[in-house]
Amino acid sequence: MADDAIVVGSGVIGLTAAVVLAEAGRRVAVWSRERAAETTSAVAGGLWWPYRIEPEEAVAAWSLESLRVLSGLAARPAETGVRLVDGTHASTAPEEQGRWTADVPGIRPAGPGELPPGYGHGLRARTPLVDMTVYLGYLQDRLAAAGGTVTDRDVPDLAEAGRAAPLVVNCTGLGARDLVPDPLVHPVQGQVVVVENPGVDEWLAAEDHGTGEILYVLPQPYGVVLGGTARAHVWDRTPSPATARSIVGRCARAHPRLAGARVLAHRVGLRPARSPARLETDGLPNGARLIHNYGHGGAGVTVSWGCALAVARLADAAGC
């Protein structure tokens, strides 16, 4: 076998796992039917924040490991696409804080003057905010530097990858629904609007517990990403003009200058959700080891490095 490991999937979860395995000395190949720029990761807002993902204890560990790595990468934003940006996570009702909050440097309750209109509770923090176009390119370059390869290849059966390497890492996201198959995997549709930045320099994420609506304002080098939606089991990737107007309107209530900002793009992505996210060892018919690493929903960036390091530990424990 030419490779020690095949990673199936080239989104942020797959590329990060491939980088960690390759930098540990394994010969790694990424197989994917989509290029990184075509994956859901490419349209992600890129904010580090544990978002609607379980299991809680594992997510806390994955998220904090990722926070440490991403914070280090923020020292080279032009190369990596990662910056540390101040921001606010707001809600209309008190929220039980996950155990991860105790280990986020500088996190604190938001004061009344730091919350958007209509939101009475929140947290302030300085967290990684990732330009995904730059970041996915950085991961591919880092993988190549470690000797890894990326191949455009449809994988109709994980056993096919198992015949090419003794270790297969399944990072297929939404594709795992049919490939495994795993009926627990489902899409959560997210629509965003990208506008010219009228002077927003902090991120904002907010949730209305009465209506279930979410909004986020994420300043990126190419504009401001305005969101959003979280529609479970919706497969449509077509941007809705009415939804776009609603998104801009909600975000403009927090930042009035956004109301007149020029629209640069409309985007829709399908978050690959599963409750809980799946990260565990399995097997393939020919004896190859299979590690599942999928179902992270909208928290892929947030948990990517923690999950990749967990994959490497599972591979070591399996003797691969």
State the binding site for FAD.
Answer: 40-41, 155, 172, 297-302
DSSP 97-122: PPGGGGGSTT-EEPPGGGS-TT--EE
Measured between alpha carbons, how far is 110 from 86 in angstroms, rounded to an integer? 12
Helical spans, DSSP H, in the chain: 12-23, 56-73, 77-80, 132-145, 158-162, 176-179, 241-254, 300-317
**For 173, left (φ over 0), alpha (ψ -120 to 50), or beta?**
left
Q: Which residues pair with 271 in a beta bridge?
A: 188
Question: Residue ranges for the binding site?
Answer: 40-41, 155, 172, 216, 271, 297-302
| Single-letter amino acid code for the residue at 47 | L
Element (H, E) at 127: strand 121-130
Cβ-count burial of 183 within 10 angstroms (0-12 exposed, 13-18 middle, 19+ buried)?
exposed
Question: Residue ranges for the binding site for D-dopa?
Answer: 216, 271, 298
Measured between alpha carbons, how far is 127 from 158 in angstroms, rounded to an integer? 36
Indicate the angle between helix axes 300-317 and 12-23, nearest 10 degrees. 40
Paired sense of beta strands 203-207 and 289-296, if any:
unpaired
| Residues 6+ positions from 278 with CB-CB distance below 8 Å | 176, 182, 292, 293, 294, 295
Measured between alpha carbons, how far is 285 from 277 in angstroms, rounded to an integer? 24
Residue 67 · residue 73 · CB < 8 Å: no
